[in-house]
Amino acid sequence: MRNLIFLMASLFASAWANAQEPVAAAPAPVVNEAENILHLDLSTGGRVSIKLYADIAPAHIDRIKTLTRQGFYNGVVFHRVIDGFMAQTGDPTGTGTGGSPLPDLKAEFNAVPHLRGTVSMARAQSDDSANSQFFICFQPRFALDGKYTAFGRVIAGMQYVDAILRGEPPATPDKILQASIGADNIPPPDFAALAKPAVAAEPQITLDDLSKPLN
């Protein structure tokens, strides 16, 4: 009887100890970092890389990725570019009044500050009117914090953003030649081949040329 009681006590103690052991949490899904990198190949001559904040503005990031993979942004101009403020794009009509066929997004305002290189969604008067247009800040603009959905920041190629022609709209607007998501491994275009050819200088006329007889 004593042995039976001892055996039962041992089994109970073992079960209790096992119950106290922490259960290992399921490993978090591995996300390819390149899945949250947006590349913009600009007519100013280079590639701009933007880190997307998928954990902060998930619906907006999903929209940007969807439109990018549809080729929506390819060829779209920067229609509103204000020196010392920002460069805005994402409207296929180039007027600032257009967008995608997809429904407008509910705002995801957050604590990300609008610094140099911050990328944020443009919208109309309603908080929940962002659709496809976005802007890149040239300089900090903290008055926008908490009023526009910031969703990323330039991590490479800011010099190509700085080179975008200013204007509302610019006389000859710069454009997004190609937009892509890093995970898709789409190479940039041949910027050298796309560069505007230099205008050949006219030959200099000398006094000897002026004195030559006409044939």
pLDDT digits (tens, 9 = 90+) for 72-87: 999 999 999 999 999 9
Dihedral angle, C-alpha 78, 165, 57, 63, nearest 10 °: 20
Distance CA 31, CA 10 (A): 45
Percent of the chain with pLDDT over 90: 74
List the domains of the chain with CATH numbers. 33-182 (2.40.100.10)
pTM of the predicted model as reported, rounded to 2 decimal places:
0.78
Residue 127 reports pLDDT greater than 70? yes
Question: What does the alpha-carbon distance between residue 198 and residue 210 come to, in Å, rounded to a whole number?
Answer: 28
Q: pLDDT at position 84, please?
A: 97
DSSP SS3 for 47: strand
pLDDT of 29 strictly over 60: no
pLDDT digit string, tens, across residues 102-126? 999 999 999 999 999 999 999 999 9
